[in-house]
Structure 1
Amino acid sequence: MSLYDQIAEVLQKGQVAEVQRLVKEALDQGLKSEGILNEGLLKGMMDIGDRWKRNEAFVPEVLIAARAMNGGMEVLEKALADEDVKPKGTVVMGTVKGDLHDIGKNLVVMMMKGAGYKVIDLGVDIPAEKFVEAAEAHQADVVCMSALLTTTMPYIKTVVDEFENKGVREKYAIMAGGAPVTEEYVKEVGGDFYTKDAVSAADKLAEIIN
């Protein structure tokens, strides 16, 4: 089994220290950081994401795999910077104002990072102007919102309207999701994309950013 395959395998088991050891070993052997990222870390995350889609893995397993991914990235980041490996794109992510739910958002963030995107995680209870400020400051490709309550879902429109009011709506793709949210609702309030879960959100980025 190659080092790449070993990294992918232990990542799916959530073994942070072992992932870090194998990533360091791969670097010490002179393997390129981009290969370690794509063939090892990202492959492991995509594999467990696919298993989750097929109901063969559960949220806790995905979460511990994502933590292992983050652990591997800590070791790999300097080498990626030295090799000038760029992220696939930049996403601003947050739970809308009035909503303090973060488990779903955190899972989306982990899956997006695991797919090779830079994610600016704003946290929870985020007002519309903060989404705009972050998108502008980080030159984001996509703005992603989470709303887990029927009472906070209408704030998605408030955020979209803020981008319109600031004259920057056309610069960004806007994605939204959460338990009460539907594709029809997102389109109705002026958004672009809806995804029903974290894996779908990461997959959708590949369609949006090319």
Structure 2
Amino acid sequence: MDKMKELAEKVEKGKNQEVPALVQEILDGGATPYDVLLNGLQAGLLIIGERFKKDECFIPEVLLSVRAMKAGMKILEPLLAEAGSEPIAKVVLGTVKDDLHDIGKNMVGMMLEGSGFKVIDIGINVSESAFLDAVMREGPDILAMSALLSTTMPYLKTTIDTLKEHGVRDKIKVLVGGAPVTEEYALESGADGYAPDSAHAVDKAKELIMQKISK
């Protein structure tokens, strides 16, 4: 089997103990760090993401794949930094006010990082003003917000309204999700995009970045 395909397969299957040695072997064979990232680690994560979207696997399997990718990234990160490799885009991520759920948010963050985004995770129970502060401080391309309760969903809209009031809404794309959130509700709240799960969040984030670039 081709070594790069083997690496992608090991990431997909969550073989975190075997990934680092194979990454090093491929690098020693002459591959660039970016090539290993794109065609090995990210390729494996893409496969598990597609399977997750089709309900062919479950959250624990996705988490194992993410862990395997992170094991490989420990070798690649310093090499990519040395080569001046830039992330696709920067994302500020958080769960809205009065909402203490973080599993879904964490999965979105890990999948985005694994797909080449720089993620600034500001945690759970994040107020409108805290989201605003993070956006103004970090200057992200995307603000990603999660609401896991029907009682906290309205904070998606109030946060977006706060961004509008302070003149920063049009500078970023807003992506929202969470168990009770629907695409219709997301758009009514003023968001640019909606994702039902972590795998779709990666696709939507890439789509939003393309929209931002094309303006």
**What TM-score range do you get, normalising by the shorter chain?**
over 0.9
Q: Return 97-106 or 124-133, whichever deviates more.
A: 124-133
Task: Letter of the 2:155 partner, please give it.
Answer: Y
Partner of 2:75: 75
Q: Separation in 1 of the partners of 2:186 and 2:116? A: 25
**Alignment CA distance shift 1:148-1:37 (3 Å):** same
**Structure 1: which 5+ runs fail to align?**
none
Within 1, Cα distance between the matches of 2:86 and 2:188?
Answer: 34
The residue number in structure 2 matching 1:84 is 84
* Paired position in structure 1 for 2:55: 55
Shift of 1:134: 2.0
Shift of 1:207: 1.0
Pairs within 5 Å for 1:35-184:
35-184=35-184
Trace 1:171-210 onto structure 2 (pairs within 5 A). 171-210=171-210
Q: Give the letter aligned to residue 68 of structure 1.
A: A
SS of 1:17's equivalent in the other structure is coil
Over 4 Å off, 4+ runs: none
Query: What residue identity is the alignment partner of 1:108?
Result: V
Q: In structure 2, the residue corresponding to 1:133 is in which secondary structure?
A: helix
Aligned residue for 2:44, secondary structure, equals helix
Residue 3 (structure 1) shift: 2.1
Post-superposition offset of 1:99: 0.5
Kept in 1: contact 2:94–2:122 (CA 8 A): yes
Distance in 1 (alpha carbons) for counterparts of 2:137 and 2:29: 38
Q: What secondary structure, in the 3-state scheme, does the structure 1 residue paired with 2:18 have? A: helix
Counterpart of 1:3 in structure 2: which amino acid? K
**What SS does the corresponding residue of 1:101 show, helix, strand or coil?**
coil
The 1:82–1:124 alpha-carbon spacing in structure 2 relative to 1, beyond 3 Å, is same
Looking at structure 1, the residues matched to 98 and 67 of structure 2 have their Cα atoms a distance apart, in angstroms, of 28
Q: Give the paired residue count.
A: 210
Q: Shift of the alpha carbon at 1:10?
A: 0.9
Contact 2:193–2:208 (8 Å) recurs in 1 = no
Alpha-carbon distance in structure 1 between the residues aligned to 2:79 and 2:190? 40
How many angstroms does 1:136 deviate by?
2.6
Matches of 2:77 and 2:134 in 1, distance apart?
22
State the TM-score, normalizing by the size of structure 2. 0.93
Determine the structure 1 residue equivalent to 2:7.
Answer: 7
CA distance in 2, matches of 1:180, 1:170: 26
In structure 1, C-alpha distance between the alignment counterparts of 2:124 and 2:203, rounded to whole Å? 23
Which whole-Å CA distance do the structure 1 matches of 2:184 and 2:65 have between them? 32
1:131 & 1:25 partners in 2: Cα distance? Answer: 42
CA–CA distance in structure 1, aligned partners of residues 208 and 107 of structure 2: 20
